[in-house]
Amino acid sequence: MAEQEIKQEQILEQFSRLKTLLKVSIALSAEKNATNLLEMILKEAKKIAIADGGTLYTRTDDNKLKFEIMLNDTLKLHTGGTSGVPVILPPLSLYDENEEPNLDKVAVCAAIKAETINIPDAYEDTEFEFSGTQAFDRQSGYHSKSFLTVPMKNHDGEVIGVLQLINALDPITKKITTFGSTEQELVESLASQAAMSLVNQRLLDDQRHLFESLIELIATAIDDKSPYTGGHCRRVSELTLMLADAVNNTNSGPLKDFTITNEDYYELKVAGWLHDCGKITTPEFVIDKSTKLETIFDRIHVIDTRFEILKRDAEIALLREQLNSDTDMEALETKLAKKFAELDEDRDFLHRCNQGGEFMSYEFKERVLHIAQHRLTMPNGKKEYLLSEEELDSLNITKGTLNPAERKIINSHIDVTISMLENLPYPKYLQHVPEYAGGHHERMDGTGYPKGLTGDEMSLQARIMGVADIFEALTARDRPYKQPMPLSLALTILGKEKQANHIDPDLFDIFINQKVYLRYAKKFLLPQQIDELDVNKLPCYNSLL
């Protein structure tokens, strides 16, 4: 009766192991993190074989076995994997300097021959070299006896790693015993499943790496299209993730319940890299327009020539006045010098207006209009105004350097971006990329473009990218139409964007409260841009503390 109960218990034990193996196979297929996958393989192999310890190796491209994880219950040892403690042992070379296989090492032999090796007692074994193991035992007081070393093979039969278990334990007495045929078969089955999972994981990682490289290549090509926007896509992507992480870590305020997963981060990262991909169709002369009068060349120099004509006309008028009157020559020269100074001042003022800025006042526009009224005599004797209507309109551009027609051209990049991105076949975890990337020019009050969406109609991720895009543009040190902006001024302008209901007010407060701006500034801005700042004086800033 007792013997029958023992057999029944053994059958139940084997059934339990098979059930565990099935569960592990399902879990291995679902695991997406490579490090977690490796650790799961070793832990479950130990559990199925009832082993005290184990090591997992992966095969490198230069034919070595790299120690990935080491576990030992008796010694409470856990290195590599998720432990945060690296394995300090050097990798095992499969071949020596003469290209001969190192078959005296059990893990190497199992990898080269692609066969399982089951050793009942390492101290009695004469085939393999265990001096390192024995030295470890003497130092730690451990006793390494039974070894089960199983190669992990892919679908082509190539060994991609080795799973080694140490010291089989009797399930009842917990004493060291040998690995039986049942344990060996179960571990071999697990190793086969594990190898397939590793191959699939590496394939996914390789595909993701290729995809990331391609989108970074596209973004870099777009940035390199203009020497003035280099790195914009990368910086916007990084700042977007910084702000998303800050929102994720917020535990107060309206956005305290927002959470973001690793896949969400990745989706946002991709959207950041691709948010300006439509600029690939934007003409360089619009992207690179550094002054208001620039076309093929900067036409401010043509206007300089006209000022010289005005000076010539003034001098001719003075000489005529001298001929037709008794006016003192010194007085006339003083009058001419004054006229030249006035013209020089007007010319210099137009030079300043030709440079783009964040805002041009009504008074400046009025003065440009007044200067435009100067009349000069052309070679044909005809009188013309100093500035043409188109030049006048260009010099009075309120913000930046683009006139309405050019602004329309560059704004159309977002339509092209959306069109390009919506035509790509995304996996499920990237399906929101077009919406995130295509919404970074929308505004909370619905006055943005291209769709005129309001804040309620936009995802939080798109609103995050909108803040990142504005702040990057404000602080960029490589724009042709402005000098690098101090941090305090950029944040003041960003605060006014909140005040005008253009950006998400809660995101602005988090941006300031969690010092996202400062982390970004230390990484990307010039030292002289990082000036003194009192955040409490920023427009509309509400501290979350």
CA distances from 290 to 297, 387, 483, 489 (A): 10, 20, 11, 21
Whether the Cβ atoms of residue 189 and residue 163 lie closer than 8 Å to each other: no
Q: What was the pLDDT predicted at 343?
A: 92
**352 and 490 part of one domain:** no
State the DSSP code for 83. Answer: S
Whether the Cβ atoms of residue 432 and residue 325 lie closer than 8 Å to each other: no
Half-sphere exposure in the Cβ direction for 461 (13 Å, CA): 23
**447 and 389 part of one domain:** no
Whole-model pTM: value is 0.65
Q: What was the pLDDT predicted at 1?
A: 45
The residue among 421, 429, 348, 360 whose CA lies nearest residue 395 is 360
Q: Name, in order, each residue with C-beta under 8 angstroms of 67's C-beta and a sequence gap of 6 or more.
A: 55, 57, 80, 87, 89, 91
Q: What was the pLDDT predicted at 121?
A: 95
Q: What was the pLDDT predicted at 481?
A: 56
Half-sphere exposure in the Cβ direction for 73 (13 Å, CA): 15
Query: In this structure, which amino acid lies at residue 439?
Result: G
Instruction: List the domain range (segments joined by +) for residue 434.
Output: 228-256+405-537
Q: d(Cα 511, Cα 501) in Å, to the nearest integer?
A: 16
CA distances from 264 to 260, 307, 366, 511 (A): 6, 59, 51, 19
**193 and 57 part of one domain:** yes
- Residue 57 inside a domain? The answer is yes
Q: d(Cα 345, Cα 133) in Å, to the nearest integer?
A: 87
The mean pLDDT values, 10 residues at a time, for the chain of 545 residues are: 54 58 60 78 89 95 94 95 89 92 94 96 93 91 96 89 95 92 88 82 83 82 65 89 95 90 91 84 73 84 90 86 74 86 93 87 93 87 89 89 82 82 87 92 92 93 95 81 84 94 95 95 93 90 71
| Last-in-domain residue among 374, 401, 428 | 401
Q: d(Cα 422, Cα 433) in Å, to the nearest integer?
A: 9
**247 and 396 part of one domain:** no
Taken in order 68, 73, 78, 81, the sign of the CA dihedral is positive
Q: What was the pLDDT predicted at 26?
A: 60
What is the domain count for the chain? 3
**345 and 476 part of one domain:** no
| Last-in-domain residue among 380, 401, 422 | 401
- Residue 281 inside a domain? The answer is no
Q: Which residues pair with 58 in a beta bridge?
A: 66, 161
Q: Which residues pair with 55 in a beta bridge?
A: 70, 164
Helix, strand, coil proportions of the chain in percent (round to 5)?
Answer: 55, 10, 35
**37 and 179 part of one domain:** yes
Q: d(Cα 75, Cα 434) in Å, to the nearest integer?
A: 52
The Cα diameter of the chain in Å comes to: 144
**427 and 521 part of one domain:** yes
